Amino acid sequence: MRCCLILLVSLVALHSSLALNHLEKLRWKTFREAELESAEYLFITHETLERYRSSGYPDEPSVRKLIGAIMVVLNAADEKLNLIKDYVLSQYFLPNTVDCQYKQHTKECLDRNVATLDPSDRLGRAYQTFQCYYKNFGGIKEDVGWVPYHYSEVVQMLEDCLYITNASNESLLQYCQGGYATSADYSNVAYCYAVRAGLLDKTTGFNVEKMYIQLGDDNLNDGDAKKCIAGVVNQYCKEPYRTMRIVVDCVLIYLPGVAGIVIAASNILGNPPECVIPPSPPPITQPCYNGRCL
């Protein structure tokens, strides 16, 4: 009986691991995969796509639509704000080994060709941004890049985790009023979300690179975040408390002003008047072409 129980637990653990790996696999795409997917949506034939590639993606209406679609598929554009997420798009391009100032030249190209465009010209901005990277970086990578979650997906995952962890109504009310970090249940919710979103791996630990691609805050790359996480890992041994401390002590300062958990908890409670949801701030995008990034 004991043997059978151990086998059952092992099978459940294996199934859970495979399920999470399947979810994680869907978040990784190459630029070419996104391109082929977008071509399918737009009825672009393989022959036409090859012509676009061999011609360096000429400035044609159908090419602009294709590039615009790729930006959507890779979640490299904020459609509401008409901004391109540089921190997402750049992971699909190779470094330029000939021009050591290629990043500066890319920025100059963006300032010259994108910043001057009408903010409502979504396809024009997407196309010109792509061309700045295409011409100044070292070409398109064949490697996969991580596709960040849309904000609605983040909220849904947090909502799922609130159900999974069976958060009490008292905790939900705390969350929807912004007091999530003080709730006794928060460690379980934070751990669930970190695992479900692919930000935490039992082998490699907390993935700061994914956090950067999700949030776009350059401070995540300056070493302080990784140093903070390493300090928490050394100080705390047990999960889920350790993950909660990583979120509260090291990551919370980089999150948008309105955390997704506030909206998720409010949704579960039926959006009562006690839950005051201020408007979401624009995401941090680098560079910003329409004034200051908030």
Q: Which residue range forms the structural domain that includes residue 100?
A: 28-146
Q: Can you read off the two tokens belonging to residue 31? A: 């630029």
**Number of domains making up the chain:** 2
What's the average model confidence in pLDDT over 119-148?
A: 95
Listing DSSP states for 17-46 in one string gives HHHHHHHHHTTEE-HHHHHHHHHHHTT--H
Instruction: Clarify whether residues 158 and 142 are in a common domain.
Output: no
In whole angstroms, what is the distance from residue 61 CA to residue 248 CA?
47
* Tens digit of each residue's pLDDT (9 = 90 or more) over 193-226: 989 999 888 778 888 889 899 888 888 877 888 8
Please determine, for residue 101, whether its predicted confidence score (pLDDT) is greater than 60: yes
As to burial, measured by CB atoms within 10 angstroms (0-12 exposed, 13-18 middle, 19+ buried), residue 123 is middle
β-pair type (28-29, 77-78): unpaired
The model's confidence at residue 279, banded by pLDDT at 50, 70 and 90, is low
Tell me if 144 sits within 8 A of 26, measured CB to CB.
no
| Residue whose entry in the numeric block shows the structure tokens 């983040």 | 154
In whole angstroms, what is the distance from residue 107 CA to residue 104 CA?
5
- Show which of 118, 146, 174 is a domain's final residue: 146
| Residue 139 within a domain | yes
Alpha helices in 26-140 (DSSP H): 31-41, 46-54, 61-73, 86-89, 102-113, 122-136
Instruction: Clarify whether residues 140 and 106 are in a common domain.
Output: yes
Please determine, for residue 182, whether its predicted confidence score (pLDDT) is greater than 90: no
Q: What is the pTM of this model?
A: 0.79
Phi first, then psi: what are they for 19, rounded to 5°? -65, -45
